[in-house]
Amino acid sequence: MLPQSLSGLPAFISYFATAIGLLALFLLIYIFITPYREIALIRDGNTAAAASLSGALLGFVLPLASAIAHSVSLLDMAIWGLVALIVQLLAYLAARLLLPDLAHDIPKGRTAVGILAGALALAVGLLNAACMTY
């Protein structure tokens, strides 16, 4: 019974490792394109940075999870994971257009802006995930 239960373990490890790799790639690119240092701000207790980055991460992981659940292969999942990554980065750029002072407001700890940026990222992620139910 145990061998049968663990027969999917190689696929799980492959999908999970690929998903963690995509998550790390998203985080690296996101942190690179933002003009402020989220991790340092969060370490200093900046709630706006934490809300914004948390929303971006969740907004990316939701469609990634949908891609994992609906993909037909590891390559298919990776391709749709990259689509999710691009869409989420575009959501950040849209937030910059909607909130032109975002680059200054987040480091200043303006929580309302951080929450709105995070909520926008999460909303786009939910829509993105829903569209990945092919």
Contact 128, 62 (CB under 8 A): yes
> Which pair of tokens denotes residue 19?
């998903």
CA angle 56/17/4 to nearest 5° reads 130
Mean pLDDT of 96-118: 95
Q: How far is CA 8 from the centre of its chain?
A: 26
| pLDDT at residue 89, rounded to an integer | 96
Q: From CA 111, how far away is CA 38, in angstroms rounded?
A: 13
Given a contact cutoff of 8 angstroms between Cβ atoms, the answer to whether 55 and 106 are in contact is no
18-71 pLDDT, tens digit per residue, is 999 999 999 999 999 999 999 999 999 999 999 999 999 999 999 999 999 999
The amino acid at 63: P
What is the pTM (predicted TM-score) of this model?
0.91
Mapping DSSP to helix (H, G, I), strand (E, B) and coil, where does residue 37 land?
Answer: coil
Q: What share of the chain is helix, strand, coil (3-state, %, to 5)?
A: 80, 0, 20
